[in-house]
A = this chain, B = another copy of it.
Amino acid sequence: MKIVSVVEEMKHISRSLHVENKSIGFVPTMGALHDGHLSLIKEAAKYNDYVVVSIFINPIQFDEKKDLLAYPADILRDLEIAKKIGVSVVFKPTVNEMYPSGFCTFVDTEGLPQNLCGSNRSGHFKGVSTVVVKLFNIVKPEIAYFGEKDFQQAVIVTRLVKDLGMDVKIAVLPTVRADDGLALSSRNVRLSGLERGDALCLFEAIKNAKMLVASGVTDATSIKKSCLRIINAKKSVKKVDYVSVVNRDTLLDVPFIDESALLAMAIWVGETRLIDNCSFAECIV
């Protein structure tokens, strides 16, 4: 496994692979790899000649310095995991390599609603869009893999790739969950024992919402109220950023559950921000 820190070296590798007519599957991450990432890497390995994983905690997508500093990082463990699972190249640039002095160009999907994970985090998705475009230009993948947990990110990346005419396919894979249902996230390692228990409220809310829909409830307001009841019952939940039912393509709020509706939630458990979501296609009666 190659470990690359320099943009020009990574570009050189990507170009060489293309000259040899090899396809590149790309999994962009912020490190602290977990089974969710591994499912993306395995899928990338299945359909591509080479798998490139980037590990880069992108400062411009954090609006709170505290959140950035607290983001888990364990690069040695990550490299070990990546090597074991058969990653071809780990691209782990420094902040200065990605954003050298004078950097000033940003990409933004201005027309998409700045709601959900965009509303309480000004500039978050502009930071995501910018780094994704830059990483795609450097790694030049045929397919890039994203997790459904970050569904809004996937919608935005899919949009910008189409809008800017970029040559990369976006694959979105199902959220991977712990045995008890908690969606895997790099941030989970920061939860205390009590918080880890309370964090399950997101999955409980999802199960409950699906049950309601399966029993014939289609009113989004009732669903959201029921989710909030479950979430707010937990002592460690310090704040609810949003509990929304939106159209999965437009990201706009919808009043009723249908095949394209998505329940999306973001909450703070202690000092840790967690998100989760689900759709209802299989339980609509």
Chain A residues engaging chain B, CB cutoff 8 angstroms: 7, 11, 15, 102-112, 129-130, 133-134, 137-138, 159-160, 163-167
Tell me if B163 and A105 are in contact (CB < 8 A): yes
Tell me if B134 and A165 are in contact (CB < 8 A): yes
Tell me if A108 and B111 are in contact (CB < 8 A): no
Tell me if B107 and A111 are in contact (CB < 8 A): no
Q: Kindly identify which residue among B7, B11, B104 contacts A110, using a CB–CB cutoff of 8 Å.
A: B104
Number of this chain's copies in the assembly equals 2
When distances are taken between beta carbons in the complex, the residues of chain B under 8 Å from A163 are 103-105, 134
Q: Kindly identify which residue among B108, B133, B134 contacts A108, using a CB–CB cutoff of 8 Å.
A: B108
Complex CA distance for A107 and B103, rounded to whole angstroms: 13
Complex CA distance for A137 and B167, rounded to whole angstroms: 8
Q: Kindly identify which residue among B134, B164, B167 contacts A105, using a CB–CB cutoff of 8 Å.
A: B164
Contact A106/B105 with A11-B165, A137-B166, A167-B137 known, Cβ cut-off 8 Å: no
Q: Kindly identify which residue among B104, B112, B134 contacts A112, using a CB–CB cutoff of 8 Å.
A: B104
Tell me if B108 and A103 are in contact (CB < 8 A): no
Complex CA distance for A108 and B109, rounded to whole angstroms: 11
Listed by A's residue number, 7 A-B pairs whose Cβ atoms lie within 8 Å are A104-B110, A105-B129, A105-B159, A105-B160, A105-B163, A105-B164, A134-B163
Complex CA distance for A15 and B11, rounded to whole angstroms: 18
Tell me if B104 and A107 are in contact (CB < 8 A): no
Tell me if A7 and B165 are in contact (CB < 8 A): yes
Q: How far is the CB of A99 from chain B (nearest CB, A)?
A: 8
When distances are taken between beta carbons in the complex, the residues of chain B under 8 Å from A107 are 105-107, 164
When distances are taken between beta carbons in the complex, the residues of chain B under 8 Å from A167 are 11, 15, 137
When distances are taken between beta carbons in the complex, the residues of chain B under 8 Å from A105 are 107-111, 129, 159-160, 163-164
Contact A138/B112 with A105-B107, A159-B104 known, Cβ cut-off 8 Å: no
Residue of B nearest to A130 (CB): B164
When distances are taken between beta carbons in the complex, the residues of chain B under 8 Å from A160 are 105
Of the candidates A7, A112, A133, A160, the one having the most CB atoms from chain B within 10 angstroms of its own CB is: A133
When distances are taken between beta carbons in the complex, the residues of chain B under 8 Å from A165 are 7, 11, 134, 137-138
Complex CA distance for A110 and B126, rounded to whole angstroms: 12
When distances are taken between beta carbons in the complex, the residues of chain B under 8 Å from A15 are 167
Residue of B nearest to A139 (CB): B165
